[in-house]
Structure 1
Amino acid sequence: MESSIEQKIEEGNKQEIDLAPLLDVVFILLIFFIVTTVFVRETGVDVDKPTAISTKQLERSVLLIAITDRKEVIYGGTNIGIKGVRATLMQATRNQMRPLIIQADKTVPTELLVNVLDQAKLAGIENVSIATVNK
């Protein structure tokens, strides 16, 4: 039969960490980050793009210009108009030449699209594409 001293020594060696408070803290932090997270909505213009069979994925370092059905020319969320295209693109490509993608609504007059293309060429941009939706 074991003495009470030996029994206390054996019980003293069986130390365990209580994980319940740790889990409480983890769940509280998780709830805090979920509640305080700000979801960023991508800014842009809704454009009903024409369809095409040969489409490619968009590269990361491209310039985007949108032409809306209301004949607005948008760059970076700002209406720059046809007169602001050349200056805006020259400033955007001052340090590095990047390709331009034009997102034109399918109801946009061809004349407006050609004018934007002309202004891009006058700004020195050689790689210009028109965004489409895959058929």
Structure 2
Amino acid sequence: MGIKRSHENDEAEVDMTPMLDIVFIMLIFFIVTTSFVKESGLDMNRPKATQANADPKKKSILVRVNEYGNIIINNRNVDPERVEAYIESLLAENPTDTIVLDAHDDATHETIVIVADQVKSLGLNIAVVSKP
């Protein structure tokens, strides 16, 4: 007669290693494919109270952006591509380190940023006029 052995200690075990491998691979996939977006901003220097007592002989250059997107410098219409050159010609006549930027509420941000970039490339400070 054959002897039947009972295997009471044999339990079905699940090997967790492949599942952990898949979880880690998915984690790495999501980390690598996630795009980290850094929002860029425009750095503006706000005038301080000590700058109010500046040299009264120095005149600042007024740059206005109206609601239609027109750029007006010292009461003259200027193309967006020519802002830097026009300001350079004004600086030759009247050296200053500050540009006053007066933008209408309905002016596009794109036009304001174009003007601010060109003024910053000249190394000048921007004073932004805000109306209540």
TM-score by length of 2: 0.52
Cα offset for 1:89? 1.0
| Deviation digits for residues 46-99 of structure 1 (CA, Å, limit 9, x no counterpart) | xxxxxxxx9x88x86111011010110001211112112100111122362331
2:74 alignment partner, one of 73, 76, 90: 76
Map 1:1-135 to 2 at 5 A: 61-94=59-92, 96-125=95-124, 127-133=125-131, 135=132
SS in 1 for 2:96: coil
Cα offset for 1:124? 2.9
Moved over 3 A (4+): none
What are the ranges of 5 or more consecutive residues in structure 1 without an aligned counterpart? Answer: 1-53
Amino acid aligned to 1:100:
I
| Deviation digits for residues 88-125 of structure 1 (CA, Å, limit 9, x no counterpart) | 11112236233101110011111111110001112232
Q: Whose RCO is larger (CA < 8 A, sep 6+)?
A: 1
Structure-1 separation of matches of 2:126 and 2:119: 8
Amino acid aligned to 2:79:
G
Equivalenced residue count is 79
- Superposed CA RMSD: 2.5
Larger Rg: 2
Structure-1 separation of matches of 2:121 and 2:81: 12
> Is the CA contact 1:86–1:123 (under 8 Å) kept in the aligned structure 2?
yes
TM-score by length of 1: 0.51
Structure-2 separation of matches of 1:98 and 1:62: 8
Identity among equivalent pairs (%): 19
> Is the CA contact 2:61–2:74 (under 8 Å) kept in the aligned structure 1?
no
What are the ranges of 5 or more consecutive residues in structure 2 without an aligned counterpart? Answer: 1-46
